[in-house]
């Protein structure tokens, strides 16, 4: 079974994403901001991280930069954003994101992104 860490400050988004991922046979854990996610990743190595952009305490971009600078940092990262500007997407990719998905996402979209990053 592949593992996914969902990082999002929205309880609703975490719940929806967890449901989709569990039906795709992933084991799922959740973090509510970048700091919590970094702590999680210091102790565990998820296969893929579903990462929100806007979060309190530590944003998705700040998490991404800190995560990619760490030693254990080879999870695939899918950025989830409501921002569809090309500048946002380029910034995310150059900071080390593998893919991005627009919110709100459905099962088909997320499944397609997981296939692109090689997690399915």
Rounded CA separation 11/3 (Å): 19
Q: 70: which DSSP letter? A: S
> Which residue is associated with the tokens 């592949």?
2
Query: At its nearest, how many Å lie between Mg ion and the CB of residue 82?
Result: 8
Query: At its nearest, how many Å lie between Mg ion and the CB of residue 9?
Result: 4
First to last CA, the chain: 10
Rounded CA separation 51/59 (Å): 9
Instruction: Give the binding site for Mg ion (CB under 5 A).
Output: 9, 52, 54-55
Rounded CA separation 45/88 (Å): 26
Query: At its nearest, how many Å lie between Mg ion and the CB of residue 52?
Result: 4
Number of CB atoms found within 10 A of residue 13's CB: 18
Q: Which is nearer to Mg ion, 45 or 102 (CB)?
A: 102
Q: Which is nearer to Mg ion, 29 or 120 (CB)?
A: 29
Query: At its nearest, how many Å lie between Mg ion and the CB of residue 76?
Result: 20
């Amino acid at each position: 079974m592949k593992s996914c860490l969902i990082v999002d400050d929205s309880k609703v988004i975490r719940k929806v994403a967890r449901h989709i991922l569990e039906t795709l046979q992933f084991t799922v854990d959740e973090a509510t901001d970048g700091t919590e996610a970094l702590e999680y990743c210091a102790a565990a190595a998820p296969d893929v991280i579903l990462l929100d952009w806007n979060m309190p305490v530590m944003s998705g971009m700040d998490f991404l930069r800190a995560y990619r600078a760490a030693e254990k940092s080879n999870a695939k990262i899918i950025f989830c954003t409501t921002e569809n500007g090309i500048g946002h997407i380029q910034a995310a990719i150059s900071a080390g994101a593998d893919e991005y998905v627009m919110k709100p996402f459905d099962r088909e979209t997320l499944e397609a992104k997981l296939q692109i990053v090689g997690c399915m």
